[in-house]
A and B are shown apart, each in its own frame.
Chain A
């Protein structure tokens, strides 16, 4: 999340002081991302350093009011116009973990996948419940909250589907490798074999 651009966008609306920015941000995003007031002031300092905002002075009650500069306005316009960068995704620990697991002998990849699946479904249950609650009692700011929840629901669902695919692919590989794909007790349910890195080799 870009606090920097979010604060700039709010200043484009009108000059504000730090605490006002925090309150305004939380109101408009349904308090989805609680902002630390320290973060707000640090960000304002950096925006001022970069000449994107300027101090307007005191509002008479001891608050330092900031306004956006022409360069800041251009920055906000550019932020809204540009799609969010995809070339620098957050490091996906799960993908890294699975990629390593399938190359290491003796690692039960299926157990890793199942543990993740349970965690993901649990998260999905929470998001779904929160969405149901929010849709049932609409309040100001809930549109943003619903958008965020929808996004999380889609992301988590995609993760579960990806896990299913990973599992199916490993089973296929195990079968193709001609390894034992049925445990003594699992006759007739061959897709439930437990593939590990060993069976993959």
Chain B
């Protein structure tokens, strides 16, 4: 069913998700086709209720489609048992949520290394990789802090470090800058961009145009369907002229 190139890390093929049944059924997604390649940063924009978050949940195997298929690195998620799905999520997929979803009784480093430890990575190696991820997000000095000793922006960086630790190939972010000031939000985008530039496939759900603009491709969802896509023109000089400068 899937016709994937070797570069595609994520593919959604005719994915539908309907909640409820009969007269009260609500279609959140309708036959959505969307691929994200290695090294590509895709942003998904759309109004509330357009299906953005449903799309992300399906992409990461947190939810199951009612139609179509989701493939991560050519593996059909529908064919995986619960354990295999959990393993794939721990190893290949990183999530960044708006509300961080960190464990308050663990330090920053422990939060970041947790998925690796759960996956059987030796403690020393897991901590070394956690330290590396914290360095990538610019807060290596906060490794031993607990959440209540960190600002919102620092906590979100920890959450991102957890999402990228162990060189995950697919990073999914749902409004990751929601609670952050603009400078910190900018920093979050820099990290996501850097991961994509380093070869990861990144999918970001956002309603903020300035954040979506960091992506290579912006996908517009409406009413559960992709209605448009935008890619950069790579000609800022022309744009300056158009802007009247």
Contacting pair A187 B209 (CB below 8 A) = no
Q: Does B224 interact with chain A (Cβ within 8 Å)?
A: yes
Q: Does B1 interact with chain A (Cβ within 8 Å)?
A: no
| Interface of chain B, main secondary structure | mixed
Q: State the CA gap A147–B243 with chains docked (Å).
A: 14
Q: State the CA gap A127–B212 with chains docked (Å).
A: 12
Task: Identify B240's interface contact among A33, A161, A164, A185, CB under 8 A.
Answer: A33
Task: Identify A152's interface contact among B214, B224, B233, B240, CB under 8 A.
Answer: B240
Contacting pair A32 B245 (CB below 8 A) = yes
Report chain B residues within 8 Å CB of A167: 47
**B50, B215, B223, B224: residue with the most chain A Cβ atoms closer than 10 Å:** B223
Report chain A residues within 8 Å CB of B231: 122, 125
Q: Tell me which residues from 158 to 173 in chain A have a Cβ below 8 Å from any Cβ of chain B.
A: 160-161, 164, 167-168
Q: Does A126 interact with chain B (Cβ within 8 Å)?
A: yes
Report chain A residues within 8 Å CB of B19: 188
CB-CB nearest in chain B for A158: B209
Min C-beta distance of B103 to chain A, whole Å: 33
Contacting pair B215 A125 (CB below 8 A) = yes
Q: Tell me which residues from 88 to 127 in chain A have a Cβ below 8 Å from any Cβ of chain B.
A: 90, 114, 117-127
Q: Does B193 interact with chain A (Cβ within 8 Å)?
A: yes
Q: State the CA gap A125–B239 with chains docked (Å).
A: 11
Task: Identify A189's interface contact among B50, B214, B235, CB under 8 A.
Answer: B50
Contacting pair B240 A192 (CB below 8 A) = no
Q: State the CA gap A125–B230 with chains docked (Å).
A: 9
Task: Identify A192's interface contact among B25, B49, B193, B210, CB under 8 A.
Answer: B49
Contact flags (1/0) for A140-167 with B, using CB distance below 8 Å? Answer: 0000000011001101110011001001
Report chain A residues within 8 Å CB of B27: 185-189
Contacting pair B213 A118 (CB below 8 A) = no
Q: State the CA gap A13–B178 with chains docked (Å).
A: 47
Q: Does B5 interact with chain A (Cβ within 8 Å)?
A: no
A130-B223 contact, Cβ under 8 Å, with A114-B228, A157-B210: no
Contacting pair B50 A192 (CB below 8 A) = yes
Q: State the CA gap A22–B49 with chains docked (Å).
A: 53
Q: Does A129 interact with chain B (Cβ within 8 Å)?
A: yes
Min C-beta distance of A58 to chain B, whole Å: 34
Contacting pair B240 A157 (CB below 8 A) = no
Report chain B residues within 8 Å CB of A192: 47, 49-50, 222-223
**B26, B213, B218, B235: residue with the most chain A Cβ atoms closer than 10 Å:** B213
CB-CB nearest in chain B for A189: B49
Q: State the CA gap A139–B66 with chains docked (Å).
A: 53
Q: State the CA gap A168–B83 with chains docked (Å).
A: 43
Q: State the CA gap A125–B50 with chains docked (Å).
A: 22
A121-B214 contact, Cβ under 8 Å, with A126-B232, A192-B49: no
Report chain A residues within 8 Å CB of B216: 125
CB-CB nearest in chain A for B25: A187
Q: Does B244 interact with chain A (Cβ within 8 Å)?
A: yes
Q: State the CA gap A157–B209 with chains docked (Å).
A: 6
Q: List 26 A-B contacts (CB under 8 A).
A: A32-B240, A33-B245, A121-B45, A122-B233, A124-B209, A124-B210, A125-B214, A125-B215, A125-B232, A126-B235, A127-B213, A148-B245, A152-B239, A156-B209, A157-B210, A183-B223, A185-B27, A187-B25, A188-B19, A188-B27, A189-B26, A189-B49, A189-B50, A191-B48, A192-B47, A192-B50
Residues of B within 8 A of A (CB): 19, 24-27, 30, 45, 47-50, 193, 209-210, 212-216, 218, 220, 222-224, 227-236, 239-240, 242-245
Residues of A within 8 A of B (CB): 1, 32-33, 90, 114, 117-130, 132, 148-149, 152-153, 155-157, 160-161, 164, 167-168, 183, 185-189, 191-192
